[in-house]
Amino acid sequence: MGIAISSSSPAVAARCAHARAGAGVVATQNITDPSLGPKGLDLLAGGMNAEAALAGLLADYPAAPWRQVVLLDGQGRAAIHSGEHTLGIHAVATGKDCAAAGNLLANDGVPAAMVAAFGMAKGSLGDRLLSAMHAGVAAGGEAGPIHSAGLYIVRDVSWPIADLRIDWAEDDPIGALEDLWALYEPQLEDYVTRALDPTAAPSYGVPGDL
């Protein structure tokens, strides 16, 4: 499972993108409260489906009207909350094993374009997530320029197999993120192998590696 995200703000993925192997995905955005990410993942890991986890997350939470939150559980079921104080034009969309949400958008069709692109895209999960992000931009994207983007993917190990971030770019952070993914993806399995079994790890291929 994974999440891709972008924003006009710096370092968006550091605050907003959360996922855990065996649990699910949480995006917490719009006047962000990063604590909602791990709390939501704990509820999902405890066996709640997305709808129940969202309800539990926002119960007795007075700041809910200012938050936009997306949960995706391990079975691909989505639950989304957009509070009444969500900024600007905002919209959500869901599809098979995916969900998209945004605020401060150029138009309310952006999330639907992202979901459609994710459903049609080929390749790895990272490729499909980036295809969805490009489709969002093509559909209008955020009303203003975006400056940061991130890609976070979890699998059958306890750490993220990809945690890639463009924390600030004057122009096209999603393009920069795609370039970074193109560099990282061919090495991804090597990094997993090095963690699980260093005796089977391939050469690092860097100066000083004997």
> Could you tell me the pTM of the whole model?
0.96
- Work out the widest C-alpha separation in the chain, in whole angstroms: 59
Domain layout of the chain by residue ranges: 2-195
**What band does 125 get if pLDDT is binned at 50, 70 and 90?**
very high
**What band does 194 get if pLDDT is binned at 50, 70 and 90?**
very high
Reduced to 3 states, what is the DSSP secondary structure of residue 147? coil
CATH architecture of the region 2-195: 4-Layer Sandwich (3.60)
Q: Which residues contact 134 (CB under 8 A, 6 or more apart)?
A: 117, 174, 178
DSSP string, 47-58: T--HHHHHHHHH
